[in-house]
Structure 1
Amino acid sequence: MLIFTNFDIKRYYNALKYDLILNGKKYVLFIAGLFVLLLIVDLIFIMDSYNEMGLYNGLIPEYKKQYNPNRYNKMFFITYMICALFAIGTAFPYLRNRKNASHYLMLPISVLEKFLIEFSIRIFGFSIIFIVLFWLGFKVAEIIFNMIDLSMPFEIRNFNLFHPFTYIAKSSDKVFVTLSLLSYATFLFAGASHFQKNAFFKTVLSLGLLSLLAYMFSLVLSYIFIPNEVSGFEVKILSRKLDSGMLNIQLYFYIIGVFSSLFLLPYAYFKLKEKEI
């Protein structure tokens, strides 16, 4: 078997184009389903915000007469994390059984090119498409909402394409959010490369166990350092501002985001390379 060890941009492009042609229908159906799902979720949240005005018996606060930007942002990040489970957590689908795995590993391209193709589609491509679909779905949901005969005025401001990121004022906060999402995405990607059978469920289970361990570790630290301020299963996190103006919690996530990405991406690559040997 001829094994390529170097990276060739032309070979990478041809292999990427081959993957898009071969799995084009699956990708189109996923994108269409994702758009419909986001449209329905957006419409539900808009209607929910509008219906909240009816709880004030005519004395409606001004801020309730418009769609809250914070709700838009929270909905974006929550839906991204949920949808990423299915888009990124199912990477390397050809490794799920021996027959497809052997055919996939024998493709005349290097391991790095196979790795970058999955990265380009599952992380980079999905993230760009999700940002566009979320914004577009909200716009269509807004049009449908405005077609309804409303008894009370309700304003929906014009959110731009990158509003969940541009709405964040501080650059340090933008880096914090970006690194958190990157860390989450690379964990799912590494899990898909590591596990062969039932990779999706094992990755989700690993994510849940890791979150539980982090919670338990934080709980133990809370009882060790500030026992008088915690009770039961409550976790108390001390937030302090550093000399640079950054919060200590942000610094922790910077470290986790940077080092987890530096570790998990090479780990996913070498697990793929290990399967070829």
Structure 2
Amino acid sequence: MSNHFDISRFWNLLKLELFKSRKGVLMIMVILFGMLFFVGFLLSLYIEGPAVYDHIDSYVSALLIGGFIVSSLAFADIDRQLKRIHYLMMPVSTLERFICMWLLTGIGWLIVFTISFTIYVMIANPIGQMVFPETSFKSFSPFGGIAWTTMRVYMVLQGIFLLGAAYFRGYVFPKTAVVIFSILIVVGVVVFFSLKAQFLADHYCTTDGECELVDAFAVHPVWLVAKGLFWYVLAPLTWVLAYWGLKDQGA
């Protein structure tokens, strides 16, 4: 490319990717909201019958799972030989490809899903009130504490699935999930044996969720370092690795 990043070329690529992915994203949204309404909403109310129903748990799970699936499909055209040739022959740079998919699967997904979920809650609550009049239904605020924290967590973890999409061929989502779980198991074992004395020491826990061990671990240097790495290092690292992985594909 004569220019590593050209705004007009990038804009055309963004419109093209939006047009290509509209059906796949729509299908994912239909499945997600269908599961949320019939399983997470109506079935949950029928079985548990809570006095107050809050949609925040549904938002957290659907936003993360749906976003990870969308991110794992970011570079799906590289998997198939004919589409791969067409994809690699497009007159755009690797940086433009990466930023385009980062925007669409990251910020784009957050905006589209959050707006859709807000509308969904506005429709689901009146229906739930008619079917289950004894239950009180909370409205959904995308600017609430848990919702906002979930968005930030998604933008950090989303890079992992972009990284998987750049390196894995086929079944990107399950392969990436297996790698994540394997790393978490190893890290968990290392942390446990490093802090074995603290874990096995006598401590008190109350029914209100307070635990002396958790409070002590929250101020432990290991936890503070882990938090810093998660919020400030993980996302940029996965973005850089995903970019170089895409570049190695010849994109």
When normalised by structure 2's length, the TM-score is 0.81
Q: Does 1:97 align with 2:96?
A: no
Cα distance, 1:11–1:85 mapped onto 2, change above 3 Å: same
- Contact 1:135–1:160 (Cα < 8 Å) also in 2: yes
Instruction: Name the larger-Rg structure.
Output: 1
2:36 is matched with which residue? 38
Read off the aligned partner of 1:83 and give its amino acid letter. G
Cα distance, 1:250–1:73 mapped onto 2, change above 3 Å: farther
2:52 is matched with which residue? 66
- Contact 2:129–2:137 (Cα < 8 Å) also in 1: no
**Pairwise CA distance, 1:203:** 0.9
Task: Give the Cα–Cα distance (whole angstroms) in 2 for the partners of residues 89 and 149 of structure 1.
Answer: 38
Cα distance, 1:180–1:47 mapped onto 2, change above 3 Å: same
Cα distance, 1:135–1:217 mapped onto 2, change above 3 Å: farther
**Pairwise CA distance, 1:10:** 1.1
Task: Give the Cα–Cα distance (whole angstroms) in 1 for the partners of residues 157 and 7 of structure 2.
Answer: 28
- Contact 2:72–2:165 (Cα < 8 Å) also in 1: yes
Which stretch shifts more, 4-13 or 24-33?
24-33
Q: Of the candidates 253, 256, 272, which is equivalent to residue 227 of structure 2?
A: 253
2:207 is matched with which residue? none
What do the CA deviations read for 1:194-239 (whole angstroms, capped 9, x no partner)? Answer: 2123322211211121221222122212325554349xxxxx6533
Task: Give the Cα–Cα distance (whole angstroms) in 2 for the partners of residues 23 and 157 of structure 1.
Answer: 33
Q: Does 1:137 align with 2:110?
A: no
Matches within 5 A, 1:1-277: 3-40=1-38, 41-48=40-47, 51-52=49-50, 65-67=51-53, 69=54, 72-148=55-131, 150=133, 153-165=134-146, 174=149, 179-223=152-196, 226-229=199-202, 238-241=216-219, 249=223, 252-276=226-250
1:62 is matched with which residue? none
Cα distance, 1:198–1:32 mapped onto 2, change above 3 Å: closer
Q: Which residues of structure 1 form unaligned runs of 5+?
A: 53-64, 169-173, 231-235
Instruction: Report how many residues are paired.
Output: 240
**Pairwise CA distance, 1:263:** 0.6
Task: Give the Cα–Cα distance (whole angstroms) in 1 for the partners of residues 82 and 124 of structure 2.
Answer: 44
When normalised by structure 1's length, the TM-score is 0.74
Overall identity of the aligned pairs, in %:
19
Q: Which residues of structure 2 form unaligned runs of 5+?
A: 204-212
Read off the aligned partner of 2:17 and give its amino acid letter. D
